[in-house]
Structure 1
Amino acid sequence: MRQEFHRLIVETHGKGLNMITRHVCTWVQETGIQNGLLTLWCRHTSASLTVQENADPTVRRDIAEFFDDLVPESRSYIHDDEGPDDMPAHLRSMLTDIQLTIPVMNGSPVLGTWQGIYLFEHRRTPHRREIVFHLLGE
């Protein structure tokens, strides 16, 4: 049994879904681990990770608009230290997740045909987000 670690920095351009599938798949293949379990961990409280459709970009737009409606910035929040999008970003990350666990078989993450891995940025301004990869297997 082996384990490997990696850190990926994602430069975001404001709110939205940022595909990281290619980075994840390339790194898994480079480790040489054929079968195991991959954990992805987002080191932030105002961004999250998700697996979602990777073919039609309108899906990503609808998801972003849904979260804007579900957790509006226009509501009055007590915590607003970094602006009106601060607390809504924290709530959105709670509703999704900051961690994903994906099985690895035959040297690749097991994803469906239309599944992609995304960093979901919940803040309006660009950010540098760090994702830690941990692969355990053989």
Structure 2
Amino acid sequence: MRQAQTVLQVATRGHGIHDLTATIDDWLADQDIATGLATLFLQHTSASLTVQENADPDVLRDLQDWLAALAPEDPRRYRHGAEGPDDMPAHLRSVLTQTSLAIPVSGGRMALGTWQAVYLLEHRRQPHRRRLVVHLAGT
């Protein structure tokens, strides 16, 4: 068994959903590991990861709207707001999604379904530089 690991820097433009699929697959292709498991871990508590549909952009818009309805930016609702009114809602949205994913690798690429992609969900309004640890183990 072989292993490889990297930290990918992801620059976000603020609140939104960012497709990471090609970036991750490009790194995987350079590792000379055809079959295994990729673990993705986002080192932040106000952004998250998801595997979601990549065909109809309305799915992503609806997901954003749903998260905003569940965790609205209303400072009267929360104790924590040290970094602004989007701070605590960002943490709540992250709890509802995930900060890590485990994805099988086949043929040196993520074994995603036809209509799937890996996305980073930026829950803060301001642009950020997010760190994504990618660990690959396999043969």
TM-score class normalised by the smaller sequence: over 0.9
| Partner Cα separation in structure 2 for residue 35 and residue 79 of structure 1 | 44
| Partner Cα separation in structure 1 for residue 72 and residue 105 of structure 2 | 37
Work out whether 1:26 is the aligned partner of 2:40: no
Unaligned runs of 5+ in 1: none
* Aligned partners of 1:16 and 1:60 also within 8 Å: no
Deviations 1:15-37 (A, max 9, x none): 11100000111111110101111
Deviations 1:93-131 (A, max 9, x none): 111010000001121110001100011100011111010
| Partner Cα separation in structure 2 for residue 14 and residue 28 of structure 1 | 27
3-state SS of 2:134 partner = strand
| Partner Cα separation in structure 1 for residue 38 and residue 97 of structure 2 | 18
Cα RMSD for the two superposed structures: 0.8
Moved more, 79-88 or 68-77: 68-77
Unaligned runs of 5+ in 2: none
Please name the residue that 2:61 is paired with: 61
TM-superposed CA distance for 1:76, in Å, is 2.0
Poorly superposed stretches of 4+, deviation over 4 Å:
none
Please name the residue that 1:2 is paired with: 2
TM-score by length of 2: 0.96
TM-score by length of 1: 0.97
Give runs of aligned pairs for residues 108-127 of structure 1, distance below 5 A: 108-127=109-128
| Partner Cα separation in structure 2 for residue 30 and residue 55 of structure 1 | 27
Q: How many residues align?
A: 138
Give runs of aligned pairs for residues 93-112 of structure 1, distance below 5 A: 93-112=94-113
| Partner Cα separation in structure 2 for residue 14 and residue 62 of structure 1 | 18
